[in-house]
Amino acid sequence: MGAFQNSPGRRSNPFAENFIDRQIDNFLSELQDKLSLLRSQLAQVEASRTSILETFSPEEQRLARRGWEQSLKGIERASGDVWTMLRYLLTGLEDRDKFKPHFSAQDRGAGFQRQVEFMAEETVQAERKIRHYFFESGSIVHAEDLTGENMLIHLFHVRQMAKELKDEKF
């Protein structure tokens, strides 16, 4: 708090300080909400995958596949929303790489278990880095946390995997 108080040569402007503090609070609150939604969407992807594997009637399969597609759209949107929020704030970070998901017949036969686990791991890594960077008081962010596979790259991987999985059938 008090963004302008410590600036030499500037007078304190309570209105500006309050405005900036509220903007930061709103950003952090929205980020928390979006991270929660991302976790929820991931749980839905995992549940819909399990549902497809455990149902046998054509009607149940059709409903389970619709749930799978909807949950993948949801995680694609949720990871994209968090990615976009952070991308505008962290303009100097690399925000994507050359990641392109590929699927084998074995992946299809296993119900894309490896891909869902990959999305879960990438989500955990992104959230861990986001929480460390934005929510832990007194935390020290190391340069390696902001280079290479940073939070934006992890979110990009989740979004790309969900996007590609939507079109795959198993």
pLDDT digits (tens, 9 = 90+) for 41-84: 999 999 999 999 998 899 999 999 999 999 999 999 999 999 99
Instruction: Given CATH 1.20.950, say whether it is the number of domain 14-165.
Output: no
Residue 78's Cβ-side half-sphere holds a number of Cα atoms within 13 Å equal to 26
pTM assigned to the model: 0.86
Q: What is the mean pLDDT of residues 12-22?
A: 89
94 contacts 152 by C-beta, under 8 angstroms: yes
Would you kindly state where each structural domain of the chain is located, as residue ranges? 14-165
Report the run of H or E that residue 94 belongs to, with start and end.
none
